[in-house]
Amino acid sequence: MSNSESKPAPGTAEQMINAGWYTELSPMWPGQGLTLKMKEVLYKSRSDFQDVCVFESESMGTVLLLDGVIQCTDRDEFSYQEMIAHIPMCSLERPAKKVLVVGGGDGGVLRELARYPHVEEIHMAEIDKMVPEVSKRFFPEMAVGFSDPRVTLHICDGIKFVEDAPADSYDLIVVDSSDPVGPAEVLFEKPFFEALHRAVRPGGIVCTQAESLWLHLDIIKALATMCSQVFVGGSVSYATTTIPTYPSGQIGMMVCAKASSAQPGGGEAGGAEGAGAPLDPRTPRQPEPGALPALGVGELQYYSHEVHTAAFALPVFAKKALAGCLTFQ
């Protein structure tokens, strides 16, 4: 092979890496790509499920890639981890005691859930054992959640774990998945959400990663419509957070509350909104969590009750597109 033939094609991610830059390219955001200047590739391997890469960037600190897609960076990870954990936790009418995380192998959501002293059990179902291993090595400030004695890590198929869980097992289930391509695709399908609905208790919440308003409105609309069919008598809401290294700088979460006793399929008394009223997650009900000195976890950096309520305010174009799909607008 000649030297010209062995060189990476112009404009490809391989060429950018060789030039000291990484560009995140995906059919999920066609025609654009976030580019970060690299200092050093720290780790690169192939697990049983995906490519796993860690590099040190000039502007965002250490970066984790799964199948070439940015999962987290040192600088901005808290804006996602705090919001996907604390919005549902603080929305619950009674404090959560038993919580499940599906995915989230970097440990960031575990760290945030560990802030709550009333939580008795935290389970994680993560399919790829390499992700927690890599996170513990390169992202110790996130992976510290694995050190909490209340945490049990299950390396398994998350869907099967949820399907096998006893009915009404969890106060909260957080699905911290990657985009709906590859191994995470099934985490956006109706059978999985039906299993989630069965596994969460009446009045409990399922909160899932739900993509970007700027790029994936069709996916969000389809997901919200499907969730409304599953969480009958409950509520379906969409909240947002800003994060510089996710495509378009914004990502959302679907917050689905299971019906309580006075609603179809429920099993406990109605809440503060009145008997039988679906839970409105726009109202925080639990105190903001504090630092966790035992694990070296500091004060919150993004989430507050004020930010909580504001996260559900949608821009006009999104409100119009999602009209009829969400419980509260």
pTM listed for this prediction: 0.90
Range from 107-111, 114-118, 182-186 carrying the lowest mean pLDDT: 182-186
State phi, psi for 148 to the nearest 5 degrees.
Answer: -65, 130
Q: In whole angstroms, how far apart are CA 163 and each of 5, 125, 160, 168, 301?
A: 50, 12, 5, 12, 35
pLDDT band at 177 (very low <50, low <70, confident <90, very high): confident
pLDDT band at 27 (very low <50, low <70, confident <90, very high): confident
pLDDT at 188: 73
Nearest in space to 84 (alpha carbons), one of 102, 63, 57 = 102
**Domain-by-domain residue ranges, the chain?**
13-72, 77-321
The tens digit of pLDDT for each residue in 131-166 reads 999 999 999 999 999 999 999 999 999 999 999 999
Neighbours of 11 (CB within 10 A): 11
Residue 176 among the catalytic residues: yes
Neighbours of 131 (CB within 10 A): 24
pLDDT at 217: 94
| Contact by Cβ (8 Å): 84, 303 | no
The tens digit of pLDDT for each residue in 274-292 reads 457 999 999 999 999 999 9
The label of the residue with tokens 């945030």 reads: 112
pLDDT at 266: 45
The SS3 assignment for 3 reads helix
Quote the CA–CA distance of 105 and 128 in Å, as a whole number: 8
pLDDT band at 265 (very low <50, low <70, confident <90, very high): very low
pLDDT at 220 exceeding the cut of 50: yes
Quote the CA–CA distance of 68 and 133 in Å, as a whole number: 18
H-state helical runs in the chain: 3-6, 13-18, 77-91, 108-113, 130-138, 140-143, 158-164, 190-199, 217-230, 305-310, 316-321
- The single residue of 176, 179, 218, 280 carrying the catalytic annotation is 176
pLDDT band at 2 (very low <50, low <70, confident <90, very high): very low
pLDDT at 273: 47
Quote the CA–CA distance of 161 and 25 in Å, as a whole number: 32
The answer to whether domain 13-72 and domain 77-321 are alike in fold is no
**Token pair in block for residue 231:** 């969480």
175-204 average pLDDT score: 82
* Superfamily classification of domain 13-72: Spermidine synthase, tetramerisation domain (2.30.140.10)
pLDDT at 271 exceeding the cut of 50: no
210-222 average pLDDT score: 94
pLDDT at 54: 96
- Say which CATH architecture domain 77-321 belongs to: 3-Layer(aba) Sandwich (3.40)
**Token pair in block for residue 297:** 């976890």
Neighbours of 66 (CB within 10 A): 25
The SS3 assignment for 268 reads coil
